[in-house]
Amino acid sequence: MVSHVRTIAFEGIETVPVDVQVMVAPGKMGMQIVGLGDKAVAESRERVQAALHASGLSMPPKKVTVNLAPADLPKEGSHYDLPIALGLMAALGAIPGDSLGGYVVLGELALDGSVARVNGALPAAIGANAMGKGLICPHECGAEAAWAGSEIDILAPRSLIALANHFRGTQVMSRLEAGMGPPPPALPDLADIKGQESAKRALEVAAAGGHNLLMVGPPGAGKSMLAQRLPSILPPLSPKELLEVSMIASVAGELANGRLSDRRPFRAPHHSASMAAMVGGGLRARPGEVSLAHHGVLFLDEFPEFTPQVLDSLRQPLESGACVIARANHRVSYPAQIQLVAAMNPCRCGMAGEPGHRCARGPRCQADYQARISGPLLDRIDLRVDVPAVSASDLIRPAKAEDSASVAARVARAREAQQARFIRLGMPDWTTNARCSAALVEEVAAPDPAGLSLLQDASEKMGLSARAYHRVLKVARTLADLDGQEQVGRIHLAEAISYRVAGNRLAHAA
């Protein structure tokens, strides 16, 4: 007899149906698992046998063959334990075989028969819903899976015997409810920063348009403080964005207790991060920091201290909004629509250009340090701003600076204007000017005659590339949205061009 149980395999945040086929036939006693499984799948044999024994069932004195079809698709992870165990129980008649036909099953088994938490319950539930089936998952994953929709039938057992009793009709499991996480702690406020008015203005522009930002300044100037306060002025995640971010966090195992938060991600990896840690990869092609920052902020402090290979690996995600991880046996794509915020010192000693400081290596120190950042990567950064050291007069100033709530209100109005414009143009998936295509930005950010003349002169004198030209237009469009103006004017273009002056100095060094 052959029993069938439906489960899934993960390819990025997408799911692929897998048919678990269990056959009990005469032969030498034992269990064989075939179907291109990894080490965790091979070890399922021992966990399943121990869990069945703990639940009062024994292995039949026959040959048990488990096939994970399609056989040429790599299977990874421990979530195949529960479907294998249920398929074996159905083959032995311990549970009705037809009761499993309407479910997708995933879960890891402990040796005592309890069902342990696994990663990816949310994308699995969405995939099951797309197939018109319910979901059987561990109890700890039930609240997470419930976000897939109120119409999907979700069973979240604590143990294998509880699930068997449910199918026999002697125990009824209730559906867990989806819930938001507890209110996160308050974010740092912009009012804490004294001085640095030009940097705070650039931070507001970056938040309004989703633009990439680079801050250059000496140690202690407040670059990290500014970056840490960017989330406080960003709007909350929309329902669609929340679902996408949560699916990535679910696959990565970073969704705590199945409760979601509408706060945008803020990832700040150490500069020793490897390429696999940054863009994703490894043996199981897990999402990296870039994908975990999807619809949020990726903050890279000490920007030139990252290895050049890691920095250049960001060029493709910044341009396409996705991380494609190609391996010999499979290819995985993770979404990565991020806002890059970077901070760096002007040189290795950190004080180049500061009054009263003289570097022992001279201008070479600054040129060598800044040359660690490639020109093509700098070309993808819209805003470059110098952050000078804070003076004593700024620190003793009694008046408090503008708080994050006031700035966030202006940012929200600018983003609403952008979203309304893109919906009107038939591009509802675009939410910020930074995501606008080059062809469309020339239409929505067409400057007035004075602005066009300024843009032409600046392009010739600064040698702007085609990408830089369009990014200047995008920043100018954001500045006009902050001012509530439909027409991009000369003043908006002048400010947008000024944000590339510091970048040109870095590009010459690179």
Question: Each residue of 472-489: pLDDT tens digit?
Answer: 999 999 999 999 999 999
Q: Which pLDDT score is estimated for 510?
A: 45
pLDDT band at 398 (very low <50, low <70, confident <90, very high): low
Q: Which pLDDT score is estimated for 208?
A: 97
pLDDT 10s digits, 433-452: 999 998 899 999 999 999 99
Q: For residues 178 and 52, which has the higher predicted lDDT (pLDDT)? A: 52
Of all residues in the chain, the percent with pLDDT exceeding 70 is: 95
Average pLDDT over residues 245-257: 88
Does the pLDDT of residue 454 top 80, yes or no? Answer: yes
Q: How far is CA 447 from the centre of its chain?
A: 34
Q: Which pLDDT score is estimated for 181?
A: 65
Average pLDDT over residues 140-157: 91
Average pLDDT over residues 407-423: 96
pLDDT band at 206 (very low <50, low <70, confident <90, very high): very high
Q: 353: which residues sit within 8 A by CB, 6+ positions away?
A: 346, 366
Residue 99 DSSP code = G
Residue 5 backbone zone (phi > 0: left; psi -120 to 50: alpha; other: beta) = beta
Beta strands in 177-271 (DSSP E): 213-216, 266-267
- What does the block give as tokens for 236? 């909350």
Q: For residues 506 and 201, which has the higher predicted lDDT (pLDDT)? A: 201
Q: Where are the alpha helices (DSSP H) in 360-465?
A: 363-370, 375-379, 392-395, 404-424, 438-444, 449-462
Mean pLDDT estimate for the chain: 90
pLDDT band at 179 (very low <50, low <70, confident <90, very high): low
Chain position carrying tokens 């039930």: 142
Average pLDDT over residues 457-484: 93
Cα(400)–Cα(108) distance, integer angstroms: 54
Cα(409)–Cα(475) distance, integer angstroms: 19
Residues written for the chain: 510
- Number of helices followed by number of strands (H, E) in the chain: 22, 16
The answer to whether 216 and 346 are in contact (CB under 8 A) is: yes
Does the pLDDT of residue 352 top 90, yes or no? Answer: no
Average pLDDT over residues 129-147: 93
Cα(63)–Cα(351) distance, integer angstroms: 73
Cα(254)–Cα(292) distance, integer angstroms: 9
Q: Which pLDDT score is estimated for 504?
A: 54
SS3 assignment, position 23 = strand
